[in-house]
Amino acid sequence: MICPSCYGFGFTFAFIQARKIPCESCGGLGKRDVNVHWTQYGVEMRKWRIDHGMTLREACRRYNVDPSNVSKMERGLIKPMRYW
30 and 70 co-located in one domain: no
19 and 42 co-located in one domain: no
61 and 31 co-located in one domain: no
Comparing CA positions, the residue from 13, 75, 17, 10 lying closest to residue 45 is 75
9 and 42 co-located in one domain: no
Distances 2 to 9, 26, 32, 33, 69 between C-alpha atoms, Å: 9, 9, 6, 9, 21
46 and 77 co-located in one domain: yes
48 and 15 co-located in one domain: no
Give tens-digit pLDDT for 15-59. Answer: 666 566 667 666 677 776 655 466 777 888 888 989 999 999 999
28 and 56 co-located in one domain: no
Q: pLDDT band at residue 72, thresholds of 50, 70 and 90?
A: confident
**Structural domains counted in the chain:** 2
Are the beta carbons of 23 and 2 closer than 8 angstroms?
no
The range of the structural domain enclosing residue 16 comes to 1-36
